[in-house]
Amino acid sequence: TFETRYNRLEVPRGSEFTLELPDGSLVRVNSGSVFCFPVRFSPASRTVYLEGEAYFEVEKDARHPFVVKADPVEVEVLGTHFNVEAYPGDAEVKTTLLEGSVAVNAPAVSSRITLSPGESAIYNRADKTLQEEKTKENNTATGWRDGHFHFDYLPLQEIARELSNAFHVKIKITDEDIKDFRIRAHFTEGESLDQMLDLLQPAGNFSYSKTNDTILIHSKLN
């Protein structure tokens, strides 16, 4: 009998880690994530576990499907480039396909979506729904890998979370009424966090202040 033993990789806030799996697949694990992978893949399939965010470049092997279990979704792969964002505290779990083909399953609600390049599958934890969404740009969801940020009408709460992970600081929105305010902005010049917040302020109608190691975002209406 084949017994699978797993390695557990915990990536602290402020770090990213790239590793090569036993089959030659490459995984880049983002800040604040936990990634578990077998010491040796089983003869039947290639199964890994993710809590947080990671970018995958999977080696093709039609006889051995590659499966990412990122509760509450499972992503089935043959060979492809894709990103999975599944931080436990986030309202949504997002799988974005850049190249190839993947199937995203939500076993709890018996839902399944097959993605084409440039598409995302978004699972809403509260509503327990799995929906397909076309991404305007293939690199929108994976900008964290190259220091670029593409916010296409994202809620301020989501932008704050992405910036918090990227710059390794705590960002707190103090007013509930602005958390869902959607902003469109692209940063490609390696801007600092202060520069980005200064540019985002007018678009999001907010102001910000710093207290110790935390950035507080306030509504301008107050």
- Residues ≥6 apart with Cβ < 8 Å to 117: 97, 98, 99, 100, 138
Strand partners, 28: 18, 55
Higher pLDDT, 104 or 164: 104
Phi, psi of 38 (to 5 degrees): -75, 150
Mean per-residue pLDDT of the chain: 85
pTM attached to this predicted model = 0.66
Parallel, antiparallel or unpaired: strands 6-11 and 66-70: unpaired
pLDDT in tens, 93-148: 999 888 888 999 999 999 999 998 888 999 999 999 999 988 655 455 556 666 67
Q: What is the pLDDT of residue 95?
A: 93
CB 28 within 8 A of CB 54: yes
CB 138 within 8 A of CB 98: yes
Handedness of CA 149, 19, 90, 77 (dihedral sign): positive
Q: Which of 14-18, 25-29, 36-40, 112-116 has the lowest mean pLDDT?
A: 14-18
- 72: cis peptide before it, omega within 30°? yes
In whole angstroms, give the CA distance from residue 124 to residue 102: 19
Confidence band of 73 (pLDDT split at 50, 70, 90): very high
78 pLDDT more than 50: yes
In whole angstroms, give the CA distance from residue 167 to residue 187: 14
34 pLDDT more than 90: yes
Q: What is the pLDDT of residue 138?
A: 43
Q: Which of 17-31, 48-62, 140-154, 205-219 has the lowest mean pLDDT?
A: 140-154
In whole angstroms, give the CA distance from residue 121 to residue 132: 5
193 pLDDT more than 50: yes
